[in-house]
Amino acid sequence: MVEKHTCKRCGHSFNSPKALKQHTRSKHFSYYFALNIAPPIIIAALLVVASMIFIPPYLESLAQQATQTPEEITERFLTGHEGLAMHYHVTLRVFVDGDEVEVPRFMGLMPDGRMRYIHTHSTPNRIHIESPIVYNFTLGDIFKVWGKRFDENCFDTYCGNLTVLVNGEEISDPVNYVLKDEDEIVVEVRTS
């Protein structure tokens, strides 16, 4: 049995979908337009409008991130705990020749109440990373806020063999290590 392709507008039958399509295009053009041509045009127009709305703010935020250096970000202040794009915590413990040097309470807190993006509250060693923008905060950034030298060989004025464990695993390039939520970080310096 041959399948029939019937025109929904005039009831004519055709032997192939192609013949029906040709008939629809020549005899009922506005119907053909609404069915075959208009939807892609409407979708394309919606995409153009959507890209005009969403792309500029995205490019703006990319440009903003590109102009930020770690130096700048550790010197910025939060105005409060609202409107944060990131809020996570790490624990940092520092040992010099086996003796612990406590990361201070209220680190990054100014006398007038303003806070650095990286700060501690009343619990020492508990670092809060709170930022209104998404940014790859590093272990080095914590020491910038703390105001202590930190590089491959030295913490503060103590230099020698410096190792850093994150969740029990030794890491390379500690200064640029990107902090992750609930990291347990241990810095150890052996001066002799």
Q: 138 near 164, Cβ under 8 Å?
A: no
Nearer to Zn ion, 128 or 144 (CB): 128
Nearer to Zn ion, 23 or 119 (CB): 119
**Between residue 130 and residue 189, which ones bind Zn ion under the rule CB under 5 A?**
none
Q: How far apart are CB 127 and Zn ion at their closest, in Å? A: 9
Number of chain positions touching Zn ion (CB under 5 A): 1
Cα distances (angstroms) measured from residue 84 to each of 3, 94, 117, 133, 148: 63, 28, 10, 7, 26
CA gap 188, 113 in Å, rounded: 32
Among 20, 74, 117, 128, binds Zn ion (CB under 5 A): 128
Nearer to Zn ion, 156 or 183 (CB): 183
**Binding piece for Zn ion, criterion CB under 5 A, among 3-11, 68-76, 124-132, 173-181:** 124-132
Q: How far apart are CB 115 and Zn ion at their closest, in Å? A: 6
Among the listed residues 34, 115, 117, 24, the one whose alpha carbon sits nearest the alpha carbon of residue 73: 117
**Binding piece for Zn ion, criterion CB under 5 A, among 39-47, 97-105, 123-131, 184-192:** 123-131
> Which positions touch Zn ion (CB under 5 A)?
128
